[in-house]
Structure 1
Amino acid sequence: VIYAKACWAGALLCSEKCDEFTDLNLGHSIIGTSLKVRLLLYTRLNGTCGTLMSHTDLSAYPQFNASKPTTFIIHGYRPTGSPPNWLNKLTERLLVRKDINVIVVDWNYGAATLKYWEAVKNTRKVASNITALINMLQHGADLSSIHMIGVSLGAHISGFTGANLKGEIGRITALDPAGPGFKGKNPEDRLDSSDAQFVDALHTDMDLLGFREPLGHIDFYANGGADQPGCPKTIFSGQYFKCDHRRSVFLFIDSINATCTSRTYPCSSYKDFLDGKCLTCSQFGNAGCPILGYDVIKWKDILLEQNQTKAYFRTNEKSPYCMTNYRIDVVIWNKDVQWGYLTVKLHGNGKQAQATIDHKSLNFKKFTDTELLAAFDKDIQWVEKVSVKFSTGNVLQPKRKLRILRIRLKNLEPKGNKAQGPLCRYDVLLEENKEVTFRPIPCEESNF
């Protein structure tokens, strides 16, 4: 399809066809494709209509403004040859958020092949091509204003490009950087934190197509970095091989408009994060816990001082992916130790949010404060009621009761002066598998 576009040629408004991402098919992949790199420019003037750029003459592109920041989008392996289904949305969101130049690096010729290792070999060649363009841009562009967003193999292409430019480009965002072909490699043979002034990486498929180890100044591990909610769990299900892998792109897209922010928590492991051991983020001072994605650049200076940070968070199975995190403290007065799981619901303004804390069987001891992390599927601005259900998962034993002396809930998302403070309830009896609903009251402890 050819779209009409507006463009400036001197003082005249003209119309010309759009240049589009290369559309190939499985036949091309079976035969194999030779590398060809095309650079498609998008700006707010031509936000839905690409302009094929030359590597040698920028004067033909008056819509390109070297004084504005430039963001490169670099895709990865394309075994079927089709264009990425996320490409247009990512481009559009970036241009809505900020007045920049967006350059889509189309290396579908070279990425479309059934021989994955051929595509891996092409990554350095693609990086050399991008480097040549950036060297030409340097006459009017600041390297620190360049942001490279690389997906899978594109993450390592970004790294090679950054290394070619001695790590002087401003930022590299790696979206589930590819693992096969790069695991166990030295830093010069893959993306690493020295390739840009700031490198952030998001891991969503580290057990199959992605990279497990940290690569940047901050590495985000969504839902632990492996299996993503809503994705197939078996090889016999559709989308099994790419759902987890490409989830990284959709999480990043969600972060751009800043209406759905995922707060992340630096921690030594996903287990410790789920156990509620890493919820303070005191090392970040007043900045608080870093936010996933586009706006993590606000934490750059602190993260550079930390050297390397691993941060964890949970998501919903579809957009909006962001969840609302609470810290829940439970004190019981049962004589014996109780083991089980909790399901908590928040009610307010006609809405309901739910968190199920079932990653392990919880250990409740008499007069001992048990701290829990609860990730709710949506944000309830003002909680009016709370529902709690206790379960053990054991159908063969008699039903148990959890005698709660005190339960406290604290929203971990900063909301300003009008935020609802910590909520408490005292003396609640939970019979197994029976939901109890109550109205919470403000907690008495001033230091909570």
Structure 2
Amino acid sequence: MRNSVPLLCLWSFYCCFAAEGPALPGPEGRLQDEPHKPSDVPAAATPPVRFNLRTSEDPEHEGCYLSLGHNQLLEDCGFNATAKTFFIIHGWTMSGMFENWLYKLVSALQTREKGANVVVVDWLPLAHQLYVDAVNNTRKVGHSVARMLDWLQQGKEDFSLGNVHLIGYSLGAHVAGYAGNFVKGMVGRITAITEVMKCEHERAVHLFVDSLVNQDKPSFAFQCTDSNRFKKGICLSCRKNRCNSIGYNAKRTRNKRNSKMYLKTRAGMPFKVYHYQMKIHVFSYKNMGEIEPTFYVTLYGTNADSQILPLEIVEQIGLNATNTFLVYTEEDLGDLLKIKLTWEGTSQSWFSLWKELRSYLSQPRSSERELNIRRIRVKSGETQRKLTFCVEDPENTRIAPGQELWFRKCRDGWRMKNETR
């Protein structure tokens, strides 16, 4: 099963929020996976915010703890002041324990950025509260992160905020924003990972992990005003920064305003799919009124052939007009060679049978329902290439329920625009 995921689930920004509140120290302590409840242990014995430098990909390994004012710990823990430094900040928790995504993200960062410092910001005692209380605590935790960064700047001459990347998940994104606002200087990058709209709660963080481990298969998202226009395939342009890779590989742009970006994904990693815009001009020489055809296409390429792909009709088919569709494949088909267009007949599915029965009295009989299609224009979202496919038999452009048409690349129908992402 494949899903449409708005890029708003996952994006980066550069500071931040107006905030106030006292700074919290970053005391030493052991990173634990047991539930943290303030009532279980005296407050003095329970550090509210801890900074765990992960020295191993093994989630059972406790790592090494950094503490404000303890310069020797930086040496003992192997902190590399000249390397990239990542701070992973979790969000609100019901269980008081770290979720599995955190360890996957740690491992992905350590694999992608060899020698980097990966620090887990443990604020479980303050996150394992009523949600409203946890929200109020984000400001305090952000202040604590900022103090740790300020201390690193003062204690290590080679340490640069430009090499720091704060990655906040859920309420951790708020913490990262506050930290970026409080710190003395500008953090290199802040990534907010959170769910919005129809996203599964952890979907966004898995997309981010995917962008780290599958860098040869980057997922692209496209700017669009709403999901309906995206489903129509209208929004596959990369001009003027209208498309971008998502997650860790996202390119920095200078947009004057916020924008919505959309993409399709596979059900699991790697999430990358290949988007195609299809423009089909549908002719009708008969007065057919409203019509609800069920179209499918099969794409044939130099690398592979696609499965049978449905053409989703968002509104209705426009007769004697150009209709735009979005299709996507899970494999890289290479250069497209031909297309098979199928109009599903009533015997092919119960769904189409129901549609046929429902519209039996209002539509002409199957023998009278006939459309003419001469060309299909295709644009690849990932490469921005445009192709035109002509019907295989120019003398036969008709298609009716239960029939199919074949289209091959027109001789003069290929062009590629040198558009930059």
The TM-score bracket by the shorter chain reads 0.7 to 0.9
Q: After superposition, where does 1:189-268 map in structure 2 within 5 Å?
A: 204=195, 206=196, 226-228=197-199, 244-256=200-212, 257-268=214-225
Residue of 270, 281, 287 corresponding to 2:227: 270
* Contact 2:233-2:324 within 8 A present in 1 as well: yes
Per the TM alignment, residue 91 of structure 1 is displaced from its structure 2 partner at its CA by 1.2
Q: Which has the larger radius of gyration?
A: 2
Q: Which moved more, 1:306-315 or 1:127-136?
A: 306-315
2:120 corresponds in structure 1 to 104
SS in 2 for 1:364: coil
1:395 corresponds in structure 2 to 356
| Partner deviation per Cα, 1:212-235 (whole Å, 9 max, x = no partner) | xxxxxxxxxxxxxx224xxxxxxx
Per the TM alignment, residue 385 of structure 1 is displaced from its structure 2 partner at its CA by 4.9
Per the TM alignment, residue 430 of structure 1 is displaced from its structure 2 partner at its CA by 3.9
2:245 corresponds in structure 1 to 291
Q: Which moved more, 1:313-322 or 1:391-400?
A: 391-400
Structure 1 counterpart of 2:169, one-letter code? V
Q: How many residues align?
A: 351
CA distance in 1, matches of 2:249, 2:89: 19
CA distance in 1, matches of 2:256, 2:307: 35
| Partner deviation per Cα, 1:152-204 (whole Å, 9 max, x = no partner) | 0000000111111267111111111xxxxxxxxxxxxxxxxxxxxxxxxxxx4
2:323 corresponds in structure 1 to 370
* 2:166 paired with 1:148: yes
* Contact 1:329-1:372 within 8 A present in 2 as well: yes
Per the TM alignment, residue 248 of structure 1 is displaced from its structure 2 partner at its CA by 0.5
1:346 corresponds in structure 2 to 299
* Contact 2:222-2:262 within 8 A present in 1 as well: yes
Per the TM alignment, residue 72 of structure 1 is displaced from its structure 2 partner at its CA by 0.8
Per the TM alignment, residue 96 of structure 1 is displaced from its structure 2 partner at its CA by 1.8
Structure 2 counterpart of 1:41, one-letter code? L
Structure 1 counterpart of 2:99, one-letter code? P
Structure 1: 5+ residue stretches without partners: 1-18, 177-203, 207-225, 229-243
Structure 2 counterpart of 1:441, one-letter code? K
Q: After superposition, where does 1:22-421 map in structure 2 within 5 Å?
A: 22-25=32-35, 28=37, 36-42=48-54, 46-48=56-58, 49=61, 50-62=63-75, 63-99=78-114, 100-113=116-129, 115-139=130-154, 140=157, 141-165=159-183, 168-176=186-194, 204=195, 206=196, 226-228=197-199, 244-256=200-212, 257-284=214-241, 289-296=243-250, 298=251, 300=252, 303-335=253-285, 336=287, 338-348=291-301, 349=303, 352-353=306-307, 355-358=309-312, 360-366=314-320, 368-383=321-336, 385-390=338-343, 393=352, 394-396=355-357, 397=360, 398-399=365-366, 400-414=369-383
2:387 corresponds in structure 1 to 422
Per the TM alignment, residue 428 of structure 1 is displaced from its structure 2 partner at its CA by 4.8
Q: 1:57 to 1:401 in 2, by over 3 A?
A: farther
1:197 corresponds in structure 2 to none
| Partner deviation per Cα, 1:301-343 (whole Å, 9 max, x = no partner) | xx22434332121222222212111111101222246444533
Per the TM alignment, residue 270 of structure 1 is displaced from its structure 2 partner at its CA by 2.0
Identity of aligned residues (%): 28
Per the TM alignment, residue 61 of structure 1 is displaced from its structure 2 partner at its CA by 2.9
CA distance in 2, matches of 1:447, 1:259: 25
* Contact 1:353-1:379 within 8 A present in 2 as well: no
Per the TM alignment, residue 123 of structure 1 is displaced from its structure 2 partner at its CA by 1.1
Per the TM alignment, residue 57 of structure 1 is displaced from its structure 2 partner at its CA by 1.9
Structure 2 counterpart of 1:98, one-letter code? E
* Contact 1:354-1:377 within 8 A present in 2 as well: no
Q: Which moved more, 1:83-92 or 1:166-175?
A: 166-175
SS in 1 for 2:220: coil
* Contact 2:375-2:407 within 8 A present in 1 as well: no
Per the TM alignment, residue 142 of structure 1 is displaced from its structure 2 partner at its CA by 1.4
Q: 1:330 to 1:121 in 2, by over 3 A?
A: same
Per the TM alignment, residue 292 of structure 1 is displaced from its structure 2 partner at its CA by 0.9
What is the root-mean-square deviation of aligned Cα atoms in Å? 3.1
SS in 2 for 1:67: coil
| Partner deviation per Cα, 1:338-395 (whole Å, 9 max, x = no partner) | 44453333345555345433261342322x3222222223322244553433359523
SS in 1 for 2:110: helix
Structure 2 counterpart of 1:150, one-letter code? G
Structure 1 counterpart of 2:329, one-letter code? F
Q: Which has the higher contact order (CA 8 A, sep 6+)?
A: 2
